[in-house]
Every structure is written in C-alpha cells, then in structure tokens.
Structure 1
C-alpha cells in the first residue's frame, strides 16, 4: 500500500514523537447509562477533569442503569442532575433523548448496542436514528464505537486535530482526518482504534 501525502506526514510525525499505535487498548463501558452520559458530556468539555468523574459517579451510584430500562427509570426519578452534578438543561435533555433512541431501537444492554453497531445491516439505520437527537453529529456517533469497545472506533476531537495540525496536515475536515488514521493504521498493521487512542493520549 502506498500512503497518501498526508498519510506519510502523519506517519513521520508518529515515528518522530514515538507514538505507537500498535499497543492494543480497550476503551468503553459495560454500562448503558455510562455510555450515554459519556457520549453527551464529552462535547466541548475537558474529558479527564469534567466528563470522566461524572461518568464514574453515575456508574457507581446507579448500577441498575447498566440497562436502558434501568437508565430510564433513574432519569424519571428526577435525580440525574444531582447525580452527575450537572445543571445545564440541554445536556440533561439530550441524555433522555438518547435513551429514547435506545428504547425505540430495542437496545437494552451495551452488548446489544455493540451488536447493532457491528452489523452492517443495522449500523447505518441506528446511526441515522442517533443523528435525529440535537447536537449529535458525526463525532458523537463515531464516539459510540469507542464507548462500546469496538477496536475500529475512531472519533476526531480537538486533541486529534492538534496532532494532525502539528503533523502539517492542512485539510482538517472530519472525514479526511478519520480516513488518515485508518490509512496509517492499515499501513502499519494496527487497529484503527488503537492508533486513535495513542494519538489522543499523546496530546493529553
């Protein structure tokens, strides 16, 4: 395989900075509530300082929200804002709306969600349903791949963009940057999700 010009630039940057996408890593949650809250809160927020502690707090406080049914029951208790220490109404509404998408799609567990995102015949339809929720764009639906532990998961956020810019890549469109990660991973025999994780960790 011959790398594109930008692919070669990215690979050179990885080699120069010792970024190893060959280290297999597992990311994600086994808890539906954690997946939903992580997916919603990550937008334009500092992950380690703001998002992660709240997801862990919800997972520990609401073990029964590991299923969609349990998550809905907990949301209806009115304690979501207090549990995750979050007052912004739009994000709280988005959490409920994503839960509704899962309900309509008959997704009850993380295993169910992973299965739907893995099977080509159901993946496209589910991603279309998810995009009907306000503020859910390409990055969020891609991020769900990561949150359910798919090794192919790639989601382009601000950290990834900083690395791409430092590598001299001018085309910063979402699709192009995601394709570059997959291209370089394929060239090196790495899983795309592992390279995504390595780049993300480098910029952290």
Structure 2
C-alpha cells in the first residue's frame, strides 16, 4: 500500500464512520449571472441566507444575464453591490470574473463547462482568472461544480477540517483534492457529490454547535 492510498483509505473510513451517503446531484446553474454571483459571494458567509437568495434574485430579475454579454450589460447599468445588495469587495470580484470570462469567449454556462472538459481549455481558464484578486483554486474548482462538472472538488475550510479529523495530511490543497477524488471513486460517487456531502455535514455540525448553550 502506498502512502497516497493510505491517505485515501483514511478518508474513506471516516466518510463511512460518520455515515455520509453522497448522492447524485444535478444542482448546477443554467444562468451564468446567477452562477458567478454564487461563486463570488460564497466564502466566510452564511450560504443559505446570504448567497442563495442573491443568486436567485439575479436569475429571476435579470433573465437576460443568462449570458456573459447580458450580465455585463446589466452590470454596466447598475451598481451591483447596491442592487444585490452586498457590501465589500465581492461584487467587484464578480464583475471582474465576468470580464475575464468574456475576454476568452465564454458566453454561457455550457461554454464554461466546456472549459473544464478539456485540459488545455481549463489551463487557459485558470490563466485568464488568475489576475482576478480574490479568485484562487477553490473558486475556480467551485465554478466547475456550479457549471455541472462531476469531477471537481473545491477545497475549503470545511473539507480541510473533515480531512484533518480523518487523519489525512492537508499540507497540499492539490493533493487533498486528489484524495477526495480517489475516495469518491472508491465510494462509487462523483467527486462533486462527495464535496457537497462533506460540506453539508460540516456546515450542519457547525450550526448545531453554535446553537448549543
């Protein structure tokens, strides 16, 4: 048994011990404005109350923002941070991501997903988004999940803590992502569904602990 396989086995054992049952998920967006809003606002905030309603507002009230060009036109006509509303730098990050994707010819969610199904195209996407301050590997992988890729894992604090509790090395975000993908293969589920199951489990546990006196 290799050191890598030992790490994967530790993760799989922990997943089974806590009773996680990753399920097929088809929760990706078809509206790129809503997708970018979700990706840009998530992180260090309550997802269900501060992110989802705002992404759905973009989808509902700006149907023409289902394309990058339509989203950019809306952004040009509105102060996005005030309209959404959301304070801080995150609305600016969303606008910068839209501009970066527009520059490389991404127009729809389907176009974005295509970037993740071709290795060279994915490298082009990473290079395009790299200058956007506030966008790192986690956000780039999360964009893939939101676009419908079953093979990506967005390593964040929740997934890192879960792995640490399993006794898995978390020194390298890149290797941690491969551990999760290999664990998903052993469990017979997609990497994205395992990501969702672990994230939901850790978030629920955190909220439950916060409510306890």
* CA offsets 1:62-99 (integer angstroms, 9 cap, x no match): 111111111011101124223311132x2222121111
Measured in 1, the distance between the counterparts of 2:161 and 2:49 equals: 19
Residue 202 (structure 2) pairs with residue 178 (structure 1): no
Q: Do the aligned residues in 1 keep the contact of 2:7 with 2:179 (CA within 8 Å)?
A: yes
Match of 1:93 in 2: 92
Q: Do the aligned residues in 2 keep the contact of 1:130 with 1:136 (CA within 8 Å)?
A: yes
Cα distance change of structure 1 residues 127 and 166 upon mapping to structure 2, 3 Å threshold = same
Instruction: Give ranges in structure 2 of 5+ residues lacking alignment.
Output: 204-213
Match of 2:33 in 1: 33
Measured in 2, the distance between the counterparts of 1:145 and 1:184 equals: 19
State the number of aligned residues. 202
Quote how far apart the aligned CAs of 1:200 are. 1.3
Measured in 1, the distance between the counterparts of 2:102 and 2:16 equals: 45
Cα distance change of structure 1 residues 132 and 197 upon mapping to structure 2, 3 Å threshold = same
Match of 2:207 in 1: none
Match of 1:60 in 2: 60
Match of 1:80 in 2: 80
Measured in 2, the distance between the counterparts of 1:191 and 1:47 equals: 22
Quote how far apart the aligned CAs of 1:16 are. 1.1
Measured in 2, the distance between the counterparts of 1:117 and 1:5 equals: 29
Measured in 2, the distance between the counterparts of 1:70 and 1:11 equals: 43
Measured in 2, the distance between the counterparts of 1:136 and 1:82 equals: 21
Match of 2:116 in 1: 117
Q: Do the aligned residues in 2 keep the contact of 1:58 with 1:83 (CA within 8 Å)?
A: no
Instruction: Give ranges in structure 1 of 5+ residues lacking alignment.
Output: none
Measured in 2, the distance between the counterparts of 1:109 and 1:194 equals: 23
Residue 26 (structure 2) pairs with residue 18 (structure 1): no
Cα distance change of structure 1 residues 201 and 43 upon mapping to structure 2, 3 Å threshold = closer
> Alignment RMSD, CA only?
1.7
Q: Do the aligned residues in 2 keep the contact of 1:161 with 1:172 (CA within 8 Å)?
A: no
* CA offsets 1:146-184 (integer angstroms, 9 cap, x no match): 110111121011221221122122434311221111111
Match of 2:198 in 1: 199
Map residues 95-174 of structure 1 onto 2, 5 A cutoff. 95-174=94-173
Measured in 2, the distance between the counterparts of 1:82 and 1:202 equals: 33
Moved over 6 A (4+): none
Q: Do the aligned residues in 2 keep the contact of 1:57 with 1:83 (CA within 8 Å)?
A: no
Superposition TM-score, scaled by structure 1 size: 0.91
* CA offsets 1:17-70 (integer angstroms, 9 cap, x no match): 11123x211232111111111111113222122111111122111111111111
Measured in 2, the distance between the counterparts of 1:79 and 1:86 equals: 11
